Structure 1
Amino acid sequence: MRVHGGGAPVLLSSIVWRRGEERHRAFDILNAKDQASTSARIQDSYNGLRVFSGAPDVSCGRFTYWIMAQTNSGGQGTNGVADESPNMIVYRKMEEVIAHMQDEKNGIPIRTVKSFLTKIPSVFSGSEIVQWMIKNLDIEDQVEALHLGTLMAAHGYFFPISDHVLTLKDDGTFYRFQTPYFWPSNCWEPENTDYAVYLCKRTMQNKARLELADYEAESLARLQRAFARKWEFIFMQAEAQAKVDKKRDKIERKILDSQERAFWDVHRPVPGCVNTTEVDIKKSSRMKNPHKTRKSVYGLQNDIRTHSPTHTPAPEAKQPTEEELQEQIAFWQLQLDRHRLKMSKVAESLLGYTEQYIEYDPFLTPPDPSNPWISDDATLWELEASKEPGQQRVKRWAFGIDEVLKDPVGREQFLKFLESEFSSENLRFWLAVQELKKRPIREVPTRVQEIWQEFLAPGAPSAINVDSKSYDKTTQNVKDPGRYAFEDAQEHIYKLMKSDSYSRFIRSSAYQELLQAKKKKSKNLF
């Protein structure tokens, strides 16, 4: 297949692949000159720029959208099912807002921005969208306006001219309205072959604004492998479209390129972004069968076909009262105010934890000394018999108080340090409560009284300092003794040791001498 330049007719190949089919449909041979006059064009109501209304010009080779519209049974269909789908209901609401945005008098002002050696036609800023929504949609909160605008941008009704991520920013970022032909309400279902033609055409146009992003380049390579047998035909079709695009007016071509890019950003979104064209199967099922319910074993109503011969009608939903609505609002406001960690912070914390413990993971770092169960080295047994902690073991105590408390040698060294400061009662109480939790149930009441008399009773020989709330709660628990009678007091003492005693232990000369002694021994061994 050849594409002739100049005044020769242009051979445009429009192709539709069905899943599971291995043959091509017949090619449509169109004359570019004869067909150029058939597509209707209208003047853009904003700055005189020409845009398409209805199907795009077939002679321009602007993709195979017009074929897909025919194969999709005319978009919305004749039975009205598509019109009543959950997505179509949302689309109609959004398009009503977009129509008001594009109003000549009260809409968002569209302008051409002059940049260095170039012009940016038919754009508006993100802050103008937010201000228009606050003014015209009875929205008081700027965050709510930004959220609503982001949802509309994610559906492709307007888009940033220099970013693949369809989101709204309340700043000077430039946006452009999408042509109605590319709106999602037209029920587009583009195939991967169409996406391959689009990406291949982008690679033929040597312009910085048309360079493929990293994820697009990966998609192109993947599609090239998948359609290796048909790639020559895809390449020729993309080449034909690229040549015809060059004949367009510069400003018009710039606008159409951005609109086509935004169309694919909706249907083939950036990794990590939500695909807004997907239909929620649960919502569709509820709309098609609103009265089909079955009675659950637990008294719940499910919107699915019942397996029993009788159907139980769903009870009518009770309208919430004003007080109930106020309670719900207060509840959700409380949820919004809750402190939540960002995913970036969580990932950073996990990476830090992994890097800190990497030398203690035998799967990542060979242990030193080696495991005597899988090697002939008995050094580990010798170190265990000497009851002297190794350098790695002592170093690990500085990671946190939990590392000290779960290591028997660490607890012993920590207790010696506290005894030197005459403040060992906190650790002894904590250890006694831990030991209580492992006692047989018949010994628990006696041991509870012993701990109470030693640490918490008036005039106790090793009295500990706890707050009044924990003391009152513990006093009530001791009347009905159990393994967890001292839970509140133990938690309070743990926090005290973590914030005070432990930090002093790590900074103490006793710990530093222990750490340095182990380092010297390890050096002498080598």
Structure 2
Amino acid sequence: MVHIRHSISIPARVVHVVMQEPIVGIKKAQAFGTMLVAYGYIYPLQNHRKLVLVADSTLYRFQTPYFWPVQKWPAEDIDYAIYLAKRNIRKKGMLEPYEQEHYNNLHKWMNYKWDFIVMQATEQYKASKERKKPDRVVLDCQERAYWIVHRPPVSTLETCNIFLTQALMRSAVKSSVSLTAFVKYVTTHHTHDPLLTNPVPSNPWITDNDEFWQLNMRNVDIPTKLSVERWALSFWELISDQRGRADFKLFLKKEHSGENMAFYEAAEEMRWGAATAIPEKSQFIFNTFLKPGAPRWINIDGRTMGLTVKGLDCPHRYVLDAAQTHIFLLMKKDTFYRYLKSPVYKDMQKKALVPAPHNFT
């Protein structure tokens, strides 16, 4: 048995070193170690085809920096052919099945230069025979580890790629269903599409009349009838329009349920706001909307409330996602339709402006 220098049980050491960072747990440390193996910075000695950091007494070795990916050496087919030819000489034709398949394919593709490849492999094999046996074994392991990364054997996962490809190519929805939905969407939105319908008032870039911009400002007092009609298409269309959201808030205030929209906006502000303000905002949201007896307590189910309150112990941008989704669906499925039937929306429909179309004659 040849003793390979610097062969050590790396997994525990890698995990220990990586876990010195306070934000890294054992799972992340093991995943990082597996990436080091997968990219060829360290390699296993016993099972060279298993490019995973195993948390046991498996021996690994650090790859020589010459073969590190950061060197960006191109893994050329001719270099791989020379390597396989050299292994074929050393193993006397007893290559592994996947190596034999690659060897045969390369021999077929590079038949015109195969004599040169065999000559190079023979010279390298003779040069390696002059080295000491431990050095020869180490170099062989290093080369094998390099090519196992750049020319991996076909694994079970890779043989299933064809099934994954077929699954991706398969349509998730029948064409008749998707086309019906597409036609319905176009029919619903065609009056709001300036390519299908002339905008009212006219396009300012064509007629040099900026009335369109004035009437469609974000905080306009009285919106156009087209804008008000667009609010009724979906709840998302309503709250995406700043003027529509203000009108919806007015309705919620009259129904004494304004805390729902206030919580939704606070969650959005926390998600997209500055990271340094997250602890302060999370405490404000808890005291205002979630704490028992809060001034604007929101009505969500107990499971969602428990998960949200527990998550606020270590707040992050997405800690309120479950509660925010619950409130959004509540407003979308219930409050939105009551708003469309309310006097608030009907009064806005009556007051909405109907600009005169532009006369191009």
TM superposition score normalised by structure 1: 0.36
Q: Which amino acid aligns with 1:375?
A: T
CA shift at 1:459, angstroms?
1.1
Distance 2:297 2:229 in 1: 32
Q: Does 1:458 align with 2:292?
A: yes
Checking the alignment, whether the CA contact within 8 Å between 2:225 and 2:352 is kept in structure 1 is yes
Distance 1:474 1:500 in 2: 23
CA shift at 1:470, angstroms?
1.6
The total of aligned residue pairs comes to 213
Query: How do 1:87-486 residues align onto structure 2 when only pairs under 5 Å count?
Result: 293-294=101-102, 341-384=173-216, 386-486=220-320
Q: Alpha carbons of 1:291 and 1:362: their partners in 2 closer, same or farther (altered >3 Å)?
A: same
Checking the alignment, whether the CA contact within 8 Å between 2:282 and 2:312 is kept in structure 1 is yes
Q: Does 1:494 align with 2:324?
A: no
Distance 1:500 1:480 in 2: 32
Q: Which amino acid aligns with 1:390?
A: T
Corresponding residue for residue 339 of structure 2: 505
CA shift at 1:439, angstroms?
1.5
Higher relative contact order (CA 8 A, sep 6+): 2
Distance 1:389 1:303 in 2: 71
CA-to-partner distance for each residue in 1:377-424, whole Å, 9 max, x for gaps?
121243246532101100001110000111100110000001101111
| Secondary structure of the structure 2 residue equivalent to 1:369 | coil
Q: Which amino acid aligns with 1:486?
A: L
| Secondary structure of the structure 1 residue equivalent to 2:299 | coil
Q: Which amino acid aligns with 1:458?
A: P
Q: Which amino acid aligns with 1:394?
A: V
CA-to-partner distance for each residue in 1:317-356, whole Å, 9 max, x for gaps?
88xxxxxxxxxxxxx9xx9xxx953221111101111121
Q: Alpha carbons of 1:350 and 1:401: their partners in 2 closer, same or farther (altered >3 Å)?
A: same
Q: Alpha carbons of 1:452 and 1:524: their partners in 2 closer, same or farther (altered >3 Å)?
A: same
Distance 1:489 1:365 in 2: 40
Checking the alignment, whether the CA contact within 8 Å between 2:200 and 2:355 is kept in structure 1 is no
| Secondary structure of the structure 1 residue equivalent to 2:232 | helix
Checking the alignment, whether the CA contact within 8 Å between 1:291 and 1:314 is kept in structure 2 is no
CA-to-partner distance for each residue in 1:46-100, whole Å, 9 max, x for gaps?
xxxxxxxxxxxxxxxxxxxxxxxxxxxxxxxxxxxxxxxxxxxxxxxxxxxxxxx
Corresponding residue for residue 514 of structure 1: 348
Q: Tell which structure's C-alpha radius of gyration is larger.
A: 1
Q: Alpha carbons of 1:362 and 1:472: their partners in 2 closer, same or farther (altered >3 Å)?
A: same
Q: Which amino acid aligns with 1:379?
A: E
Checking the alignment, whether the CA contact within 8 Å between 1:292 and 1:306 is kept in structure 2 is no
Identical aligned pairs, as a percentage? 31
Distance 2:229 2:352 in 1: 10
Which structure has greater helix proportion? Answer: 2
Q: Alpha carbons of 1:314 and 1:525: their partners in 2 closer, same or farther (altered >3 Å)?
A: closer
User: How large is the Cα RMSD of the aligned pairs?
Assistant: 3.8
CA shift at 1:306, angstroms?
7.6
CA-to-partner distance for each residue in 1:456-510, whole Å, 9 max, x for gaps?
1111110101122221221222111112121110001111111110010011122
Q: Which amino acid aligns with 2:319?
A: A
TM superposition score normalised by structure 2: 0.51
Give the unaligned 5+ runs of structure 1. Answer: 1-289, 296-301, 319-331
Q: Alpha carbons of 1:444 and 1:376: their partners in 2 closer, same or farther (altered >3 Å)?
A: same
Q: Which amino acid aligns with 2:226?
A: Q
Q: Which amino acid aligns with 1:398?
A: A
Checking the alignment, whether the CA contact within 8 Å between 1:474 and 1:489 is kept in structure 2 is yes
Q: Which amino acid aligns with 2:249?
A: L
Q: Alpha carbons of 1:372 and 1:477: their partners in 2 closer, same or farther (altered >3 Å)?
A: same
Distance 1:292 1:477 in 2: 55
Corresponding residue for residue 264 of structure 1: none
Query: How do 1:67-78 residues align onto structure 2 when only pairs under 5 Å count?
Result: none
Distance 1:367 1:441 in 2: 41
Which structure has greater strand proportion? Answer: 1
Distance 1:350 1:376 in 2: 34
Q: Which amino acid aligns with 2:182?
A: L
Q: Alpha carbons of 1:457 and 1:368: their partners in 2 closer, same or farther (altered >3 Å)?
A: same
Checking the alignment, whether the CA contact within 8 Å between 2:270 and 2:317 is kept in structure 1 is yes
Checking the alignment, whether the CA contact within 8 Å between 1:405 and 1:411 is kept in structure 2 is yes
Corresponding residue for residue 191 of structure 1: none
| Secondary structure of the structure 1 residue equivalent to 2:272 | coil
Give the unaligned 5+ runs of structure 2. Answer: 1-97, 122-146, 157-163
Checking the alignment, whether the CA contact within 8 Å between 2:290 and 2:298 is kept in structure 1 is yes
Checking the alignment, whether the CA contact within 8 Å between 1:293 and 1:314 is kept in structure 2 is no
Checking the alignment, whether the CA contact within 8 Å between 2:200 and 2:356 is kept in structure 1 is no
Q: Alpha carbons of 1:317 and 1:450: their partners in 2 closer, same or farther (altered >3 Å)?
A: closer
Distance 1:501 1:304 in 2: 72
CA shift at 1:293, angstroms?
4.0
